Every structure is written in C-alpha cells, then in structure tokens.
Structure 1
Amino acid sequence: MGLFLSRLCGNSQKHNKSSGVITIHSAAQWKEHFDAFKESNQLLVIDFSASWCGPCRYMEPILKKYAVKFKDVEFVTIDVDELTEVAQQFEVTAMPTFILMKHGKEVYKIVGADKKELKKKIKEHKV
C-alpha cells in the first residue's frame, strides 16, 4: 500500500522491488511518506542505520527478508548520517534502531540488532 501511495503522490523514493524496503534520501521524502501513513492502520517499520555500522549491515538482509515475508507491513530505511534531523526527531542514539509506528505514533522501539525481537514485535503490531 505504501508504494501505491508513493506512486499516487508522485513520490520519487527509491523502492527496492526485490527487497520491499524503501530507502528515504531527503527530509521532504520522509515527510511525504510519514504523512501518508498517519491515517493508515498499516504498520510502518523504520530502520535507522548507517553505512559504516556493522550491526546495521548484519540486519540489512534480515530486514529485506521480513519485508518480503510481511507484505502487509511497510519497511523504510533512513541513513542517520544522511538525515540527521529525522534521526534526532526520533531520538535515535544508537544504530540500528527500529521504530514501529501506526497512525503516525510510535508503538515500539528496538535499539540494536535483535532480529528475534523485531520479528516478534512486527507480528504483534501488524494489521
């Protein structure tokens, strides 16, 4: 649904079709994507990571796997070095940090590369 909304709005976000994960590259893209999900009951999983972060690289293929498995969940990745203001808005202090959101509100936050906890919370909070 997120990709549908993005295309409908003419959003130019990079969507990796094979992984199902959207990479956000600007504050404007983030705002547009976030605003589209404020009214949605769909779970939004935000992966705050960095290219230099070993645990982030470890979680990248796992996140892609979850995005394929949980088709009713929207997955986005935000590089904290590229969008520091967005990371600050969500009080991200370590990477990776995963924020799970519904209706524009945070429902759960995972700090660290805990794939079991992430999967558990996705199952718990998805539509």
Structure 2
Amino acid sequence: MAQHTPYLDTPLTRQTVDALDQPTVLDFGANWCGYCLGASAMVQAALARHPDVQHIRVEDGPGRRLGRSFTVRLWPTLVFLKNGQEVARLVRPEDAAALEQALALLDANA
C-alpha cells in the first residue's frame, strides 16, 4: 500500500506558481479529508509513471490565498500546470483514465 504524503502548509505564492517552468500538479486538500485520502493512492500511482512531473500537495482551507486564487471549492482539486499555466483540472478524481489524460498534457511534446 502506498504511503500517504501529507498536505503541507506551503509558503507558495501565486506569483511563484505562475513562474514555475517544470510540469507541476498542485494537489489542494486537507490531511483529514476523506475524499483526499481516498484519491491519494490513485494519484500517487499515476504520478509515479510521470517522474518528470513535480507534485506539490498544498494544504487548503479558509483564508488560504493560493487555493482561493485557483478558485478551489472542493477537495481534492488537482491543477495541472505547464510553464506556470493551467492546462487541466480534476476535482475529486475517481477515474484513472482522466488522470492519465491530464498528465499527458504535461508531457514535453504535448
């Protein structure tokens, strides 16, 4: 069984995120969120097949500016970024194929 990686209270700002040049998945959620825990193994397995994609788990909640700047309303919300720009978004992912499709958009040739 894959180990659960906790969501972190990260100091990332929207400006920092917009400047990212590495393919990145921002994973907004909370450590106590049942939906987040349920999706974690599927997300971790998919990301293991895409080692060039940076995965940042961001603790979200009231007053968290980064999540608000992405209009996150439900957890987990995965925001797929290429060159700091959103190319896809999955909210409460349950479909491994949809997750793979979104990750394919981050490939260097996409």
Q: Which has the higher strand share?
A: 1
Alpha-carbon RMSD across the aligned residues, in angstroms, is 2.8
Q: Which has the higher helix share?
A: 1
| Structure 1 residue 26 corresponds to structure 2 residue 10 | yes
Q: Distance in 1 between matches of 2:75 and 2:6?
A: 18
Give me the TM-score of the superposition, normalised by structure 1.
Answer: 0.67
- The one of 36, 45, 57 equivalent to 1:65 is 45
The alignment of Structure 1 onto Structure 2 pairs a total of residues equal to: 105
Q: Distance in 1 between matches of 2:17 and 2:41?
A: 26
Unaligned 5+ residue runs, structure 2? none
Contact in 2 for aligned 1:48/1:95 (Cα 8 Å): yes
* Identical residues among aligned pairs (%): 20
- The one of 58, 61, 64 equivalent to 1:81 is 61
**Which residue of the partner structure matches residue 99 of structure 1?**
79
Q: Distance in 1 between matches of 2:33 and 2:17?
A: 29
Q: Deviations over 1:41-96 (max 9, x none)?
A: x3211111112221210111222222321111111101113872111111000111
Q: Distance in 1 between matches of 2:87 and 2:103?
A: 10
- What is the DSSP-based 3-state SS (H/G/I as helix, E as strand, rest coil) of the residue aligned with 1:125? coil
**Which residue of the partner structure matches residue 19 of structure 2?**
38
- The one of 34, 38, 50 equivalent to 1:54 is 34
